[in-house]
């Protein structure tokens, strides 16, 4: 079982990642980083702030989706193993018993 199969773990990872990026960029560029919020025009300020808050949730759901589909594919493939193994063996034994009886 993958540790990121839990939505809480993947949300923690995504929010930590975004916080790290925000802190590193703000220390590197100091006040120049915050000019991106008013750079094109001040009317876009709410949209840019909304983008900063929606990016972690998007990363969260994307990571959770990838891990969940990986788990489901493994479960489906493991459940197909008896069909793949036992069907040819069953056919072989039925054919052999048919040849032995006739």
- Cα 98 from Cα 94, distance rounded (Å): 6
Question: Containing domain of residue 82, as a range?
Answer: 3-101
Residue 4 has pLDDT above 70, yes or no: no
Q: Where are the alpha helices (DSSP H) in the chain?
A: 7-29, 31-34, 45-101
Q: What is the pLDDT of residues 45-59, one digit of tens each?
A: 888 888 888 888 887
The DSSP output letter for 38 is T
Q: What is the pLDDT of residues 12-44, one digit of tens each?
A: 887 888 888 888 888 887 777 777 777 777 788
What is the count of structural domains for the chain?
A: 1
Residues in contact with 68: Cβ distance below 8 Å, sequence separation at least 6, in sequence order = 5
């Amino acid at each position: 079982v993958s540790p990121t199969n839990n939505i809480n773990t993947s949300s923690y990872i995504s929010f930590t990642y975004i916080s790290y990026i925000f802190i590193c960029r703000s220390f590197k560029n100091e006040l120049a980083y915050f000019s991106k919020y008013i750079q094109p025009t001040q009317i876009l300020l709410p949209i840019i702030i909304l983008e900063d808050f929606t990016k972690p949730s998007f990363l969260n759901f994307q990571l959770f989706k990838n891990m969940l589909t990986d788990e489901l594919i493994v479960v489906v493939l493991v459940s197909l193993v008896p069909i793949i193994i036992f069907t040819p063996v069953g056919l072989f034994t039925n054919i052999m018993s048919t040849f032995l009886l006739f």
